[in-house]
Amino acid sequence: MGIHIIDLPRKIVVGSGVIARVGEHLRELYPKGGGVLVVTGPNVRKVAYEELSQSLEGNGFSPWSKVVEEASLEVANAIAEEALQDKVEVIVGLGGGKSIDVAKFAAKVAGKAFVSVPTAASHDGISSPYASLKGFERPISKLAKPPDAIIVDIAIVSSAPRRYNAAGFGDLLGKFTAVRDWKLAHLLKGEYFGDYAASLALMSAEHVSSYHEEIAAGTPNGYRVLLEALVSSGVAMCIAGSTRPASGSEHLFAHALSMIAKNPPLHGEAVGVGTIIMAELHRLNWRRIRALLKAVGAPTNAKELGVKEEEVVEALMMAPTIRPERYTILGDKMLEERVARRLAERVEVI
C-alpha cells in the first residue's frame, strides 16, 4: 500500500461576528505575527476588510489588501511574487470563489500559509486544497494550498445575495452523483476509492438536504448548516487526496458549460443542474434533486440558468472530454448529439 498524506485545517471557526476575531485566531497559529496579504474583491473589501484588518493589527500583524477582479493564473502568480518580495507570512482569501482560489494558489506558489475567510457559501472551494483558475490548460481544479484555518462569519454570509448561497447548495447536491462516479471508476478501472471520504461527502449532501427549508428561508442556522457541509466536503477532498468525493460527471458538465455558454452561470448553479441529469443516469431520484434545488431557489433548467438549450446539449456532448482520465457514468468518449439532447429532455432540463 502506498503512502497517503492528509493535510487538514488546523482550525475551523463558524459563528456570527467572528470576523472581528480573525486576528486572535491567527495569533494562535502564527505567534510571531508578520505580514498578512489579504486577497479580496472590490465589493467585499468595502464590507469586510476594515474590521478584519483592525483585528489583525490589534494582534501583532501588518495587513494590506490586494483587490482582484478575476481568478486567473496570471493574477495568482503576481500575488505570489508580491508575497515573496514583501515578506508575507500569511495569505488570506477574503470573499467568494475568485478571491479564495487566487489566494490559495498564490500561497502554494509562494510557499506561504493560507487562511480562508469566505463571505458567501457559493461552493466547497472555501475548504478544499484545490483551485480553479483561468489560464490552466483545461477548466479543472489544480492542487493548491490547503487552508490552515477556515473562519466563517455567518452574519456576513447571510447578507450575501441569495443566489450565491443557493449555488453552494447546488454544489453540495453534486456529491450524490460524484461519489457514485468515483465508485464506478473503482469497480471498472481499479481506481482508488476511499470509503471514509466518500461517506463524508455523501453525509454533507444529505445533511443540507434535510435542512433545505431553513436554507431556503435564509435563517442563520440554515446558513450555518450549509457552511459546515461545504467545509466537510472540502475536508473529504483533503482526506481523499483528490477532488473525487466532490467532483464527478456533474462537474464535467458544469466545466463544459462554463466554456461554451455566452453567459455562464455560477459554478454551483451549473453543478446543480448537472446533478439532475447525472442522477437519471445513475438511476437516482432526479425529481427529488430538482425539487430540492427549486426549494432553495436554485436553477433547474436551461432557461433558469440563463443559457441556451443548445449550449446545454453541447456541454453534455463535450463533458466526457474535459477530463478523459477521470472515468464517470458518461464514459470516456464525446456523446452523440441525439443522445445528449434526449437525456436533457428526459429530465426536463431543456
Amino acid 104: pLDDT: 95
184-196 pLDDT, tens per residue?
Answer: 999 999 999 999 9
Q: Is the pLDDT of residue 295 over 60?
A: yes
Amino acid 118: pLDDT: 94
Largest CA distance in the chain: 62
3-class DSSP state for residue 40? strand
Mean predicted lDDT score pLDDT of the chain: 93
Query: Is there a contact between 158 and 215 (Cβ–Cβ < 8 Å)?
Result: no
Amino acid 326: pLDDT: 92
Any idea what DSSP says for residue 234? H
120-134 pLDDT, tens per residue?
Answer: 988 888 888 888 888
State the DSSP H helix or E strand holding residue 39, giving kind and residue range, or none if neither: strand 34-40
Q: Is the pLDDT of residue 307 over 70?
A: yes
**Range(s) for CATH 3.40.50.1970 in the chain?**
11-160
Amino acid 1: pLDDT: 52
**Range(s) for CATH 1.20.1090.10 in the chain?**
163-346
DSSP string, 58-107: TTTEEEEEEE-SS-BHHHHHHHHHHHHHTTEEEEEEEESHHHHHHHHHHH
DSSP string, 110-167: HT-EEEEEESS-S-GGGT-SEE--BTBSSSS-EE----SEEEEEHHHHHTS-HHHHHH
d(CA 45, CA 327): 40
Average pLDDT on 52-78 reads: 93
% of the chain surpassing 70 pLDDT: 98
66-104 pLDDT, tens per residue?
Answer: 999 888 899 999 999 999 987 899 999 999 888 999 999
d(CA 126, CA 348): 31
3-class DSSP state for residue 239? helix
Average pLDDT on 316-336 reads: 92
Q: Is the pLDDT of residue 6 over 80?
A: no
Higher pLDDT, 165 or 141: 165
Amino acid 80: pLDDT: 94
pTM over 0.85, yes/no: yes
Amino acid 52: pLDDT: 96
Amino acid 25: pLDDT: 96
**CATH number of the structural domain 11-160:** 3.40.50.1970
Amino acid 2: pLDDT: 64
Domain at 163-346: CATH architecture:
Up-down Bundle (1.20)
